[in-house]
């Protein structure tokens, strides 16, 4: 089967042929219908050797949706034939956090050489992906795959971040989304769906501002000199109750604390490497709370899928065949993707290939 692999640090990923895996005990094989392309994939590709604990080679792709086509003995989950989305963060599987479906905050994270599907272990930018356990799967019914795959990170991470700042977002409040790309445009929709807040958005790209407006933002502003003053004015001068920063650069962190209301919430989601100097006394808003949310829990993914199936969330996607993955990655790097780029390994009009046997197997190849 075809798979997009990171073959070595500092090297462009390669589309190569690898053996199709066979599920062992408790495992499932999923025929991938869609795999989302996340800006974190760019961070992984750009990482210096030793910066991440992962061992190359591995197949990229941590936003995955598809159909179960084979399961191993003792697999305890959805039946072959069912369509699922993958809960991507995989922890040690046995600590208290993992047992509660909170693999994203695994107690043994520091000891792991992988952080989840496509992050140190073979992921979904391939024709098939092997899942080690039923606990990583959430059924999606007939939700289109291009919608379902991005929910597992762009949707889930945004939902988890919004839930984390929700105490600040009661009636009459204002929320600000910085960076309206794959994650940010879903954060705008989620804020509109589950809070009564007025939703503001800033970005450096015109097209992203239009996407923010389509996603339900009450006001979208370019990130230019004077934007902080304009935003403050929008809040009657008091400041924004919660900021979700999907860029996480020095500039956006400084901007976020400039517009934040005292006692407000700042969630830094973006991995832009920015730093925030904390000093008391100083100029930071008094009483503000900072969170560094990472991905989300399995239960939250089920909630996000339910929101999408109810029509409350709509991912804007641009589809690419798996063979065009390198082009899609370039476009993401250049800020030329609208919403979420999604890789589709199989042509939708192609006849279904002969599937591997769904009989329980006990061995695993590749």
Nearer to Zn ion, 33 or 153 (CB): 153
Span 96-125, contacts to ligand NAD by CB under 6 A: none
Question: Is residue 23 within 8 Å of 77, Cβ to Cβ?
Answer: no
| Class of residue 289 by CB neighbours under 10 A (exposed 0-12, middle 13-18, buried 19+) | middle
Buried b (16+ CB within 10 A) or exposed e, 330-341: ebbeeeebbbbb
Interhelix angle 182-194/206-214, rounded to 10 degrees, is: 30
Closest distance to ligand NAD from the beta carbon of 3 (Å): 21
Task: Indicate the residue among 157 and 220 with the shorter CB distance to ligand NAD.
Answer: 157
| Residue 295, contacted partner among Zn ion, ligand NAD, none, CB below 5-8 A by kind | ligand NAD
- Examine residue 335 and tell whether it contacts ligand NAD (CB under 6 A): yes
End-to-end Cα, the chain, rounded Å: 11
Binding residues with ligand NAD: total (CB under 6 A): 34
- Least CB distance to Zn ion at residue 175 (A): 22
The binder of ligand NAD chosen from 169, 208, 243, 244 (CB under 6 A): 208
Specify the residue, 73 or 251, whose C-beta has the smaller distance to ligand NAD: 251
35 makes contact with ligand NAD (CB under 6 A): no
* Residue 155 contact, options ligand NAD, Zn ion, none, Cβ 5-8 Å cut-off depending on partner type: none
Q: How far is the CB of 291 from ligand NAD (least distance, A)?
A: 10
The verdict on 202 binding ligand NAD (CB under 6 A) reads yes
Closest approach of Cβ 179 to Zn ion, in Å?
14
Residue 293 found at the interface with ligand NAD (CB under 6 A): yes
82 or 318: CB nearest ligand NAD: 318
Q: Which is nearer to ligand NAD, 36 or 78 (CB)?
A: 36
CA 10 to chain centre: 23
User: Which range binds ligand NAD by CB under 6 A, 111-119, 125-133, 173-181, 311-319?
Assistant: 173-181
Binding status of residue 61 toward ligand NAD by CB under 6 A: no
Q: Is residue 245 involved in binding ligand NAD (CB under 6 A)? A: no
Q: What are phi and psi of 135, to 5 degrees?
A: -70, -10
- The closest residue (CB) to ligand NAD is 181
Partner interacting with residue 294 (select from ligand NAD, Zn ion, none; CB below 5-8 Å by kind): ligand NAD
Q: Which of 2, 20, 31, 39 binds ligand NAD (CB under 6 A)?
A: 39
Q: Which of 183, 259, 284, 313 binds ligand NAD (CB under 6 A)?
A: 183
- 41-60 residues in contact with ligand NAD (CB under 6 A) are 43
Give the nearest distance from C-beta 261 to ligand NAD in angstroms: 20
Give me the residues that bind ligand NAD (CB under 6 A), please.
Answer: 38-40, 43, 153, 157, 178-184, 202-205, 208, 223, 246-249, 251-252, 269-272, 293-295, 332, 335
């Amino acid at each position: 089967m075809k798979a997009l692999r990171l073959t070595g640090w500092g090297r462009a990923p390669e589309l190569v042929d690898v053996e199709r895996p066979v599920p062992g005990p408790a495992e499932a094989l999923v025929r991938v219908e869609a795999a989302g392309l996340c800006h974190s994939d760019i961070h992984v590709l750009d990482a210096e050797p030793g910066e991440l604990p992962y061992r190359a080679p591995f197949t990229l792709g941590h936003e995955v949706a598809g159909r179960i086509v084979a399961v191993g003995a003792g697999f305890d989950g959805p039946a072959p034939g069912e369509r699922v989305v993958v809960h991507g963060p995989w922890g040690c599987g046995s600590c208290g956090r993992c047992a509660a479906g909170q693999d994203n905050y695994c107690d043994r994270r520091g000891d792991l050489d992988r952080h989840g599907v496509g992050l140190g272990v073979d992921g979904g930018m391939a024709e098939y992906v092997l899942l080690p356990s039923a606990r990583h799967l959430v059924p999606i019914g007939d939700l289109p795959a291009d919608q379902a795959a991005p929910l597992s990170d762009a949707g889930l991470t945004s939902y988890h971040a919004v839930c984390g700042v929700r105490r600040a977002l009661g009636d009459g409040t204002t929320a600000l989304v910085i960076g309206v790309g794959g994650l940010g445009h879903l954060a705008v929709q989620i804020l509109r769906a589950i809070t009564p807040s007025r939703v503001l958005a800033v970005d450096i790209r015109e097209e992203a501002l239009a996407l923010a407006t389509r996603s339900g933002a009450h006001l979208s502003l370019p990130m230019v000199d004077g934007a902080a003053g304009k935003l403050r004015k929008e809040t009657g001068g008091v400041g924004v109750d919660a900021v979700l920063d999907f860029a996480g650069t020095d500039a956006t962190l400084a901007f976020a604390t400039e517009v934040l209301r005292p006692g407000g919430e700042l969630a830094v989601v973006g991995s832009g490497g920015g730093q925030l100097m904390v000093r008391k006394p100083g100029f930071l808003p008094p009483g503000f709370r900072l969170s560094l949310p990472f991905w989300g829990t399995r239960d939250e993914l089920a909630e996000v899928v339910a929101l999408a199936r109810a029509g409350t969330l709509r991912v804007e996607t641009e589809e690419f065949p798996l063979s065009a993955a390198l082009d899609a990655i370039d476009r993401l790097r250049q800020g030329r993707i609208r919403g979420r780029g999604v890789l589709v390994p199989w042509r939708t009009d192609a006849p279904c290939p002969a599937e591997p046997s769904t009989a329980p197997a006990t061995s695993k190849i590749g």
